[in-house]
Amino acid sequence: MTGRILRVGAAQLGPISRDESRTQVVKRLTTLLDRAADRDVRLVAFPELALTTFFPRWYTEDVSGHDHYYEREMPSAGTRPLFEAARAHGIGFSLGYAELTPDGHRYNTTILVDERGETVGRYRKVHIPGHEHNEPWRPFEHLERRYFEESDEGFSVWRAFGGLVGLATCNDRRWPETYRELGLQGVELILIGYNTPIHYAPDPGQNPLQGFHNHLVMQAGAYQNGTWVVGVAKGGVEEGVESLCQSAIIAPSGQIVAQAVTTGDELVVADCDLDWCRHYKDTLFDFDRYRRPEMYRRLSNQKGVIEPN
């Protein structure tokens, strides 16, 4: 490869228990950063909600019942050691966490931090899956729609690490709109953290397909937009809930070039040639030449299905 090579690490996390402290978790994150430094990695992607257990699996009467899982400032005393370790190594990172804003808004947030330890981007999750109210019939809940607001800030791409980097989170990866919104900004690398339970209560028939669907959507998104995609899990059996791992680094061709082989803390590394994107952006997916937005009016004007009469 002769282009702009960016060595990327997907820092997969195994389970985080409900009472694991920020200090204990940050120690795990800095250990993965140390491993990344040993392998000359320049950018590390951490999962969604990487500082705590996936707390939306439990219902609380008062929405503020989980507020101790949120960050009111970033970095904070508990997370500053992560920023300091990254800066010391000269490594950038993305980090997913629960954000509680000073005016009381709750978001499922991911930040992009450069090699100097400066936050260069922030993304708040757009597609919030699951349900809003207590559904005790489930073996575990998926109350993201109770504990996080849908972001109205949309999808952004930042110039960083010698390329064009975008962020998305978990359920976002299942929606083609996510990748195209980033693709129309020229994105060359999309970092996506996820927490995905294997059991899908509304349709358990999907359970054996979780791994297939996980890679399917990210490989499609990569190929159809000529971009690298890094999917990084927090998985394993977390508080009794089996969650998908299979973190993967996917090339603009849609090929998986590296993937996790464990269900624990694991660093998956690949050399991402950002110039590889041009092979697709300048040919098959030359958007300016081939797209027909005047034919796609439904895509941005219609929410649900409207069938013909």
User: Which residues are annotated as catalytic?
Assistant: 48, 125, 170
- Out of 4, 131, 174, 278, the residue judged to bind ligand ING by CB under 6 A: 174
25 or 86: CB nearest ligand ING = 25
**Minimum separation from the CB atom of position 14 to ligand ING (A):** 17
- Out of 170, 229, 248, 267, the residue judged to bind ligand ING by CB under 6 A: 170
81 binds ligand ING (CB under 6 A): no
129 binds ligand ING (CB under 6 A): yes
**Minimum separation from the CB atom of position 244 to ligand ING (A):** 8
**Minimum separation from the CB atom of position 132 to ligand ING (A):** 14
Q: Say how far apart CA 92 and CA 68 lie, in whole Å.
A: 27
**Minimum separation from the CB atom of position 229 to ligand ING (A):** 14
Tell me the site size for ligand ING, rule CB under 6 A: 9
Do the Cβ atoms of 224 and 183 come closer than 8 Å?
Answer: yes
270 binds ligand ING (CB under 6 A): no
- Out of 53, 171, 178, 225, the residue judged to bind ligand ING by CB under 6 A: 171
> Contacts with ligand ING in 194-233 (CB under 6 A)?
194-197, 200
41 or 249: CB nearest ligand ING = 249
Question: Residue numbers of the site for ligand ING (CB under 6 A)?
Answer: 129, 170-171, 174, 194-197, 200
